[in-house]
Structure 1
Amino acid sequence: MSVEPKLTRFKQSVLSKYQIYNSIFMTLPFDAITKTGVLLPLFHETCEKGFKKGDDPTTIVDTFFKKYQARRTKESQINLLFRFIQYIERQVVLFDAIEDAAFPIVNNMEGIGTLRNLKESATSENKLEELKNYLEEFKVRIVLTAHPTQFYPGSVLGIITDLTKAIKNNDLSEINNLFAQLGKTPFFKHEKPTPYDEAKSLIWYLENVFYTSFGEIYNYIQQNIYDDSRKHNEIINVGFWPGGDRDGNPFVKPDTTLKVAAKLKQAILRKYYGDLKDLRRKLTFRGVEDRIIKLETTLYNFSINLDSKDTLTSKELIKELLSIRDVVEKDHQSLYISELNNLINRIHLFGYYFGTLDIRQDSRIHHSVFTTVINHLIETGSSSFPNNYHDLSENEQIEILSKANDDINDLDAFDDEMVCNTLKTISIIKDIQKSNGERGANRYIISNNQTALNVMQLFAMLKMVAFKDELTVDVAPLFETIPDLENAPSVMEQLYTNEAYMAHLRSRGSKQTIMLGFSDGTKDGGYLMANWGIYKAKELLTEMSRKYDITAIFFDGRGGPPARGGGKTHQFYSSLGPTIEDKEVQLTIQGQTISSNFGTLDSSKYNLEQLISSGIKNRIGGEANKMSAEDKVVMADLAESSYQTYKDFKSHPMFIPYLERMSTLKYYAKTNIGSRPSKRGTSDKLIFSDLRAIPFVGSWSQLKQNVPGFYGVGTALKQFEDRGEFEKVEQLYKNSKFFKTLLENSMMSLTKSFFDLTKYMSEDEEFGGFWNIIHTEYVTTKRLLLKLTGYKELMENEPSGKASIEVRESIVLPLLTIQQYALKKIQELEKAGVPADDEEKKIFEKIVTRSLFGNINASRNSA
């Protein structure tokens, strides 16, 4: 392992290599315009100089054409801009691949936060037994979601993987071939993917990354921490949303869910078959070989045909392998026993389900479905529900729901498609459990959960449709907005005091999963308040659950960038302290977070180990992270004033028009990157509550203004400075790892902001004032964060992370310039009253949409 500082390792293994390979890349003739590679560096330089001088994007583009390409026609200029976009997208891929290849060199794979380090620390502090006990009950679950925050089609992801390998091996001729392939492979999709397409592309990660990395981590814990070959708590598992997440996605139908469950089962059976095939070549001993061949043949047939007659359950498979292991141990000197153990461990980890399919739907949909169902039952006279059910109070309705035992057998009796699909989904959960095992699908998440009634409606529906005898599904409410987070403890208490619901929890191990959503929290309440709101909710929910002898399992809906709850995730989990339940760490990962943090074996192992050790560190050193009463007062004050600032900003009359007309918001729907619509409602008008968090945060990111990641932080800090009480904030920063992590993530958002790009807007007669409000908050936040941390520049404590961001931002600078140039042209055409179907306008709109791709992909280290 190199002892060079991390920044030096980054410069040698990433930056230098990028410069060398990029210069080769720029000489490749991808198309008729061979000059593109020569002209792009000149355009890049024009952008850098122009912004330094204070020029706007239109001036920069015009200057470039005047200076270097004066004889080009208008059409030819536009063509060149499209070529630049294509080149820059591929430069981003090149940088991704180089960074992935250098991951184990830049990051210390045995340093702080890794399992080896955890074991060594525990051994030296005589805490090994304590560590073993924690590992027996602690779990990390990463849940893969199809939320579209990355724009690479599968073919491009494949090229990145191959390119990473070729760069690791310094294989120049293979790199050249892959560059040429990259030049000819389209980066955008002509059609939206289906939810099944999304599932298939994420199953690729399960097969090619997680199967190996999860197995290696489990093997390490078994062999080096427990030092035995016995079965232990699985510690890490994976959840899966594509195909089960119906929230706002009308394209996820019951048959989609069944298809995805079958695909998951088939994928894991194939992996087991592959391992048995390898074992067959090794275990060629008497009394063993025939049994391995039989298993291999059975699994091969089963993986091809899930309805095959010749099958065996996962329990039978493990039993047979354990029996084979006994023979190898007793009669064959334990030859190849570790390979056999590896397969047994993986079957223990993944069963026949591979990833647990979560079902998710909005409480408002459930309410409407449930109302229809009750009306139907009352009308047919076959119901235990009273005729005046809808007129009863919430408590009375809950009481009836907890005892509901009606049968809803005929699901086709309902004409309404949403009602029919919701009920069929419940019934197929049972089918999936029969086929893939209970863990195949055993959790139903209610998004936008506001009341105990929301939970009890689903509880009753599950029992009435498919789970009359025993409910083997956990109901998980998702609290998202600031008011919902505040109400969450009283909602849970109402459930804990309900006899029927409590009996269900006891049968499920006295655990209650509670999901908390960052993305919509940030959109709703701003950066500080969303994080503090969730922290407080977790404390109160922990206290409330412990009072009823229930273990709260918190599941965090986290996005990629800090503005959606991402950022330094493991630091966040190790900072929570003892007042927040931490038996499990569960979080959603999506888009570029999957590819950047878990996309290769090295990064996947490293980041999973960091998550495991962060949870355990919080356990062992939790008391030190406990926030004092004084610090909580300061934190609450900061969150409250930042919330007020953000609310005022959100209610500014120019807020919606600015997003609608000055940002890329409306272009997200045209990118074909995700299967679900980019907003919730059907209104033509832009309504804030309909906005999804991803396009909302993404639009600010494209503007290089990153509002959701810092807005309100500066004003909140300034109030303490103005009152002469800044030392209180300094004290909080010194004492609280949680607050420190929040601010470091906010610094990342500021580092990725670049206001020179949109400075021209400050002169705009309509939007100038609004732009200046944002810019002032940025300047204030930056100044006070530097004052508070004592840094000379942002992210000073993370030089390699900062360097990576700087390279990525530099790569996309021409792309951002082209995008702003096109947006400005569209605004000018609209002001001139040009119709929507004008050809010139359509071309500029295409430029904006195409430039979205590279900008987002380049932001992968926001995760």
Structure 2
Amino acid sequence: MSDPRIETEPEAIRPLRDDIRFLGEVLGDTIRDHEGPEVFDLIERVRKEAFRIRREEVDRSAVAEMLRGVDVAVAIPLIRAFSYFVLLANLAEDLQRDRRRAVHIGAGEPPQDSSLAATYRKLDAAALDGPTVADLLSDALVAPVITAHPTETRRRTVFDGQARITELMRQRGRFAEGERERAALELDIRRQVLALWRTALIRLARLRIQDEIAVGLRYYELTLFDVIPAINAEVRAALRARWPGVELLRRPILRPGSWIGGDRDGNPFVTAEVVRTAAGQAASVAFERYLRELAELEKVLAQSARLVPVSERVAGLAAAGYPEQETHADEPYRRALHAIRNRLTATALRALGTAPVHGSDVGAEPYDTPQQALDDLDAVDESMRAAGDGLLADDRLAALRFALETFGFHLQSLDMRQNSEVHEQVVAEILAWAGVHADYPSLPEDERVALLAAELRTRRPLLGPHAALSEKATQELGIVRAAAEVIATFGAEAVPNYIISMCTSVSDMLEAAVLLKEAGILEPGSPASSPVGIVPLFETIEDLAAGATTLAAALDVPVYRELVAGAGMRQEIMLGYSDSNKDGGYLAANWALYRAELELVEVARETGIRLRLFHGRGGTVGRGGGRSYDAILAQPAGAVRGALRLTEQGEVIAAKYAEPGAAHRNLESLIAGTLESTLLDVEGLGPAAEPSYELMDELAARARAAYAALVHDEPGFVEYFRQSTPVAEVGDLNIGSRPASRKPTNSVSDLRAIPWVMAWSQARVMLPGWYGTGTALEQWVDGDPDRLAVLTELYRRWPFFRTVLSNLAQVLAKTDLAIAERYAELVTDAALRERIFGMIRDEHARTIRMHAAVTGNDHLLADNASLAESIHNRFPYLEPLNQMQVELLRRLRAGDDQELVKRGILLTMNGLATALRNSG
């Protein structure tokens, strides 16, 4: 199953092509040996035709004809073959990126944008003063938040097999052809490919939320536990070296979070026990790592008191280290570290109810806070440095200190999230039970706010121990009370935020506050205070537009302003990318987000609060995806201000954080973008800002109208979507615990953004990432070269506009309307099919045409050579997967519901998601 040699093969990409050829041959040999020559021959014929289609030597119907009527028992290995080749091609591309990076560094070229080295150069050139930097970074935080939103289709077993092959291929590259070591590695690669071939690609059962918790935590052992503290230490040292008179970054800047186990919006499987499990398992990962490192340090730091002086503090710790006085009597550091391990073991036992594997003697006094443990480790560090042993202190001891400072006892912050409709129902039931108001939902907004604010002033609980509530209300209160237990056990950072989905009003925010009060988290009175911040999530176009007004009105409520003041005048706002896009289309959603940020920044300036924005981005451009560094620089001035939180979802998590090098690069790019957006003028518009904003207002309005004309207004559109995409089958893919829809409905508005985007991606339309933009640009330019020149200048000067068009180009490059037309043939109503697909086809051509006119680029990926190369390598292998998916969907919908047909569809979805790399 080898890749045909391209006629012109630049030296730089020859290693990539060689890797792809080798892996293809290994996979082909495996298929021939275990599936038989007939299946292998069919796969080879289909592969060759797919490449002929890419070279435009044959029509697409060639592959379709070969696959029409193929026995489903043969179709399954064919689908698996192309799915695995794509997976192996991805692996080869990742290795190629590493090679290119090494060549770049080895050549002594300037550091590339998105690296911290490049950012430091920019900061040095800006000549900033220390007090200004200290003020802007006083609340510094960069928090990637792993969510439970599923689009990762790979099973962990497949994922682990791919990781093993990657490492073997990396080692293979160190030996020349013919060397014995290379031959041994190639044999091992064949074993691993065979193991993959014998492994099922898809799950038979849907993931449980407990599985999702475990999957999210695995990234700490894979990379995050080592990488995050190291980056925190490096950034702090670099900034303090540049501004030595200022104590910058008192707290680590990079502090991760999670939604898995706390996000119950639309997920009925999140319960109080799940919250406890999520927090407890995260803490267990942290304690296990600390105790394992302490045990190793005890072996390493065996300096003798006869040779090395120690401080009084360390001597005191050493005295408590071992009950037998003669044990390691002259090794004070070993004894001191054992004393610390004893106390951490006792801390874990108290918090978790069980001693971790690497725990030591129980019975010691537990630590009350992570800072107490850190103080003891710092004492060891200071003593070693005073004795001239800084070189030793800078190794494992430093790594442990930075890890404990970063992760505390909780490891990661667990956010709670629920829909505002649920809050309203639960609060209404509580108020009715308590006799406060019998019909809270009937109240106008101002009366709701007054009633809720009054409740936040009184210490009287609304419910007694025997209150009889509905199952929903009981579960919701139970979850918030479980969060209170987690905070009491692991500290306030364990559950720092309560996010309100679909927040539209001040009462939505105060309802959450009342639930926090009832759970004992929020302290009522004057002033009221809460360790958990209330975070409104503005999701739709309308809610984004009204977000600043909602925030200002909330801050006008004295009790709410007291809560903000108690949090250091910090208010976090979450911005929803997915639903705004589904609501208004790509360009309108992106501009609505930018406009909302501008207005929120102004409210923050007027009210004196410190604004922190939380970006709810998905993997695809249609859900806010794209390069994180570029996205951060595309924020308006004042929107970042040293603090940034953003969601990491689905297959993007593995792509970014499964391997140490990738994790380091992605995390440092987040910090690099945050520092540049905070400390430098990156918007670049100057006095042209307001006219540019007004121009975007008009473009966004035109784009939204064009999008709405298709998605919301065109008769039969929903039926077309359901028949021409595998959206109904997405829910069967077993990629997560969350249902595909918020409620049983055929409405686009109630469908979750993940299946909406994923279905269009599978059909190669990618509609959420571009539709409406071409019309907006064409209408505004209206054939006027001067107007076109205005847009071209905006593209050159404005990071926001440049990023919008760059991301749009990435999506358009992954579309294939010739394949999409095959999916359109699944629509039974011919008139509907022609009408809707005609609109999509015309807008697609219009958008490509206008992108070229505005950017001046002769092809879509002129500014993204690596993606262009990736598409060249992988996309011929998508052809059979798409064609086979259409064929099997046709059979299923014609009544052939045998299990293998359904499984084949799911396998094609898995393969396509792997190939596209950001499917949802």
What TM-score, normalized by structure 2, do the two folds share? 0.86
Does the Cα contact within 8 Å between 2:67 and 2:884 map onto a contact in 1? no
Question: What residue number does 1:112 align with?
Answer: 113
> What does 1:115-134 correspond to in 2, within 5 Å?
115-123=116-124, 126-127=127-128, 129=130
- Asked if residue 314 in structure 1 is aligned to residue 328 in structure 2, the reply is no
How far did residue 79 of structure 1 move? 1.6
Tell me the SS of whatever aligns to 1:688. coil
Tell me the SS of whatever aligns to 1:467. coil
Distance in 2 between the 1:849 and 1:349 partners? 40
How far did residue 245 of structure 1 move? 0.5
Question: What residue number does 1:791 align with?
Answer: 857
Query: In terms of mean alpha carbon deviation, does 762-771 or 603-612 score higher?
Result: 762-771
1:561 equivalent among 583, 596, 620: 620
Which one-letter code corresponds to 2:43 in the other structure? L
> What does 1:283-432 correspond to in 2, within 5 Å?
283-285=301-303, 286-299=331-344, 306-307=352-353, 310=364, 311-312=366-367, 313-331=369-387, 333-339=389-395, 340-378=397-435, 385=436, 391-404=442-455, 405=458, 406-408=460-462, 410=464, 413-432=467-486
Question: What residue number does 1:89 align with?
Answer: 83
How far did residue 548 of structure 1 move? 0.8
Does the Cα contact within 8 Å between 1:446 and 1:455 map onto a contact in 2? yes
Which one-letter code corresponds to 1:743 in the other structure? L
Question: What residue number does 1:31 align with?
Answer: 34
Distance in 1 between the 2:11 and 2:669 partners? 20
- Asked if residue 267 in structure 1 is aligned to residue 270 in structure 2, the reply is no
Cα deviation digits, residues 179-206 of structure 1 (max 9, x gap): 1111111111111111111010010012
- Asked if residue 695 in structure 1 is aligned to residue 761 in structure 2, the reply is no
Change (3 A) 1:773 1:316: same
How far did residue 410 of structure 1 move? 4.4
How far did residue 417 of structure 1 move? 1.7
How far did residue 504 of structure 1 move? 0.7
Distance in 2 between the 1:18 and 1:407 partners? 65
How far did residue 455 of structure 1 move? 0.5
Distance in 2 between the 1:231 and 1:53 partners? 60
Tell me the SS of whatever aligns to 1:17. helix
2:698 equivalent among 621, 629, 637: 637
Question: What residue number does 1:195 align with?
Answer: 209
Change (3 A) 1:212 1:762: closer
Question: What residue number does 1:667 align with?
Answer: 729
Distance in 2 between the 1:299 and 1:465 partners? 29
How far did residue 413 of structure 1 move? 2.8
Change (3 A) 1:635 1:360: same
Query: In terms of mean alpha carbon deviation, does 270-279 or 444-453 score higher?
Result: 270-279
- Asked if residue 811 in structure 1 is aligned to residue 877 in structure 2, the reply is yes
Aligned length: 830
Query: In terms of mean alpha carbon deviation, does 141-150 or 275-284 score higher?
Result: 275-284
> What does 1:435-450 correspond to in 2, within 5 Å?
435-450=489-504
Question: What residue number does 1:242 align with?
Answer: 260
Cα deviation digits, residues 138-189 of structure 1 (max 9, x gap): 3211100121111111112212222221111113233222111111111111
- Asked if residue 490 in structure 1 is aligned to residue 554 in structure 2, the reply is no
Query: In terms of mean alpha carbon deviation, does 464-473 or 210-219 score higher?
Result: 464-473
Change (3 A) 1:222 1:350: same
Cα deviation digits, residues 316-364 of structure 1 (max 9, x gap): 2111111111221233533511122221111111101111000000000
How far did residue 765 of structure 1 move? 4.2
Distance in 2 between the 1:131 and 1:168 partners? 42
Tell me the SS of whatever aligns to 1:555. strand
Question: What residue number does 2:250 align with?
Answer: 232
Question: What residue number does 1:820 align with?
Answer: 886
Does the Cα contact within 8 Å between 2:79 and 2:881 map onto a contact in 1? yes
Query: In terms of mean alpha carbon deviation, does 697-706 or 338-347 score higher?
Result: 338-347
Which one-letter code corresponds to 1:191 in the other structure? A
Change (3 A) 1:179 1:390: closer
Does the Cα contact within 8 Å between 1:411 and 1:423 map onto a contact in 2? no
Tell me the SS of whatever aligns to 2:151. coil
Distance in 1 between the 2:280 and 2:466 partners? 24
How far did residue 468 of structure 1 move? 4.9
Distance in 2 between the 1:332 and 1:704 partners? 63
Change (3 A) 1:335 1:609: closer
How far did residue 569 of structure 1 move? 2.1
Distance in 1 between the 2:406 and 2:883 partners? 48
Question: What residue number does 1:4 align with?
Answer: none
Query: In terms of mean alpha carbon deviation, does 408-417 or 324-333 score higher?
Result: 408-417
2:915 equivalent among 841, 858, 861: 858
How far did residue 298 of structure 1 move? 4.8
Tell me the SS of whatever aligns to 2:332. coil
Distance in 1 between the 2:248 and 2:789 partners? 53
Question: What residue number does 1:217 align with?
Answer: 231
Does the Cα contact within 8 Å between 2:152 and 2:735 map onto a contact in 1? yes
How far did residue 409 of structure 1 move? 5.1
How far did residue 662 of structure 1 move? 1.5
- Specify every segment of 5 or more residues in structure 1 that has no aligned partner in the other structure, as ranges: 1-6, 66-73, 379-384
Distance in 2 between the 1:124 and 1:9 partners? 36
How far did residue 644 of structure 1 move? 0.2
Distance in 2 between the 1:785 and 1:208 partners? 40
Question: What residue number does 2:519 align with?
Answer: 465
Which one-letter code corresponds to 2:472 in the other structure? M
How far did residue 113 of structure 1 move? 2.3
Question: What residue number does 1:68 align with?
Answer: none
Distance in 2 between the 1:389 and 1:672 partners? 39
Tell me the SS of whatever aligns to 2:71. helix
Question: What residue number does 1:480 align with?
Answer: 539
Which one-letter code corresponds to 2:45 in the other structure? L
Distance in 2 between the 1:549 and 1:172 partners? 63
How far did residue 43 of structure 1 move? 0.5
2:298 equivalent among 261, 280, 289: 280
Distance in 1 between the 2:224 and 2:129 partners? 27
How far did residue 535 of structure 1 move? 0.4
How far did residue 751 of structure 1 move? 0.2
Cα deviation digits, residues 470-507 of structure 1 (max 9, x gap): 42110101010111111111111110101000011000
Does the Cα contact within 8 Å between 1:101 and 1:168 map onto a contact in 2? yes
How far did residue 62 of structure 1 move? 3.0
- Asked if residue 138 in structure 1 is aligned to residue 140 in structure 2, the reply is yes
Which one-letter code corresponds to 1:362 in the other structure? N
Does the Cα contact within 8 Å between 2:824 and 2:833 map onto a contact in 1? yes
Distance in 1 between the 2:824 and 2:75 partners? 26
Distance in 2 between the 1:708 and 1:218 partners? 36
- Asked if residue 546 in structure 1 is aligned to residue 605 in structure 2, the reply is yes
Distance in 2 between the 1:56 and 1:13 partners? 30
Distance in 1 between the 2:701 and 2:197 partners? 50
Does the Cα contact within 8 Å between 1:102 and 1:168 map onto a contact in 2? no
How far did residue 48 of structure 1 move? 4.5
Tell me the SS of whatever aligns to 2:647. strand
Question: What residue number does 1:70 align with?
Answer: none
Cα deviation digits, residues 194-233 of structure 1 (max 9, x gap): 1111010010012221111112211222344425999733
Tell me the SS of whatever aligns to 1:407. coil
Distance in 2 between the 1:242 and 1:631 partners? 40
Change (3 A) 1:316 1:38: farther
Which one-letter code corresponds to 2:63 in the other structure? I
Query: In terms of mean alpha carbon deviation, does 558-567 or 293-302 score higher?
Result: 293-302
Identity percentage over the alignment? 23
CA-based RMSD of the aligned residues comes to 2.5
Which one-letter code corresponds to 1:659 in the other structure? F
Distance in 2 between the 1:728 and 1:283 partners? 65
Distance in 1 between the 2:53 and 2:391 partners? 68
Does the Cα contact within 8 Å between 1:542 and 1:552 map onto a contact in 2? yes
Does the Cα contact within 8 Å between 1:786 and 1:793 map onto a contact in 2? yes
Does the Cα contact within 8 Å between 1:244 and 1:357 map onto a contact in 2? yes
Question: What residue number does 2:63 align with?
Answer: 60
How far did residue 131 of structure 1 move? 5.9
Distance in 2 between the 1:812 and 1:302 partners? 53
Which one-letter code corresponds to 1:552 in the other structure? L
Does the Cα contact within 8 Å between 1:511 and 1:553 map onto a contact in 2? yes
